Amino acid sequence: MILQTGSVALGEGEAPAKESDLGVRVASAVVMMAIAGTALWLGGFWWKAFAVLIGLACFGEFTRLVMAITNTAISTALGLIGGAIYIGLAVFGLTQMPIQVVLGIVAVVIATDTGAYFSGRAIGGPKIAPSISPSKTWAGLIGGMTAAGLVSFAFFYSNVGDGAFSLMGAVALLIGAMLAVVAQTGDFFESWLKRRAGVKDSSNLIPGHGGVFDRFDGLLPVSIASIGLWAIHP
């Protein structure tokens, strides 16, 4: 997940960092935040170029996973075509939607990861899909949905400038919660690919964090889903 608390701290499905790795993880997180934040602040060409580079890096790591999983030319080609469409649509959304919308999307994904991580660790309980991602729990999902819904709600009211509760505010809350489910789906999808490929991370490009695909797995499907929402209410 992008800028994860994974999209930069831990995602719910990750083990706590060893003390020896903590400094590296924190340094890498600061650098990632600085680069992404600068690109968002500059906007325009710089944000679009950054989003395209991230998409290319994700596709490169996706290709590595597909090549490890598939064993025929046809299955490899289908996997790569599917990945190109998946990642390409996400990049399209990130480069075409207004920066304010992108900021809201990023905030929702970060809130999802944060809420899932802390509620999952604090409450525990039944796992969602232990064969794919053993650490993810239903409590974590609910925590992520709650946090994402509240962030979406806050973004809505910061834009409309009206402190009174309204039906649209409730819709914004619901949309945030549903996007949290979408983000978790992207996380599960990447976890499934890595488990099939027999690897822990999509790459070792980011010290202490794995690959770019690891950091942006939740943002990709949320960006795609947000294209439709933005088209309905730009």
Q: How many domains does the chain have?
A: 1
Give pLDDT, residue 176: 94
**Structural domain boundaries, residue 76:** 19-232
Read off the pTM.
0.84
Query: Tens-digit pLDDT profile for the chain (234 aa)?
Result: 444 434 333 444 444 444 456 677 778 778 888 998 899 899 899 999 999 999 999 999 999 999 999 999 999 999 999 999 999 999 999 999 999 889 999 999 999 988 998 898 888 888 998 888 888 889 999 999 999 999 998 888 776 655 555 677 788 899 999 999 999 999 999 999 999 999 999 988 877 778 999 989 999 999 999 987 776 665
Among all chains, which residue has been given the structure tokens 């939607």? 97
Rounded to whole angstroms, the maximal C-alpha distance in the chain is 58
Give pLDDT, residue 8: 37
In a domain, residue 1? The reply is no
DSSP 65-90: HHHHH--SHHHHHHHHHHHHHHHHHH
Give pLDDT, residue 162: 55
Q: In Å, what is the CA distance from 48 to each residue of 95, 117, 215, 232?
A: 5, 30, 18, 23
Structure tokens at 207: 């010290």
Give pLDDT, residue 192: 95
Q: What residues pair up with 137 in beta bridges, in sequence order?
A: 127
Give pLDDT, residue 231: 66
Distance, CA of 7 to CA of 213 (rounded, Å):
9
Distance, CA of 131 to CA of 142 (rounded, Å):
20
**Left (φ > 0), alpha (ψ -120 to 50) or beta: where does 97 sit?**
beta
Distance, CA of 145 to CA of 231 (rounded, Å):
23
Question: What is the distance of C-alpha 185 from the center of its chain?
Answer: 10
In a domain, residue 151? The reply is yes
Distance, CA of 10 to CA of 187 (rounded, Å):
13
In a domain, residue 13? The reply is no
In a domain, residue 8? The reply is no
Give pLDDT, residue 14: 44
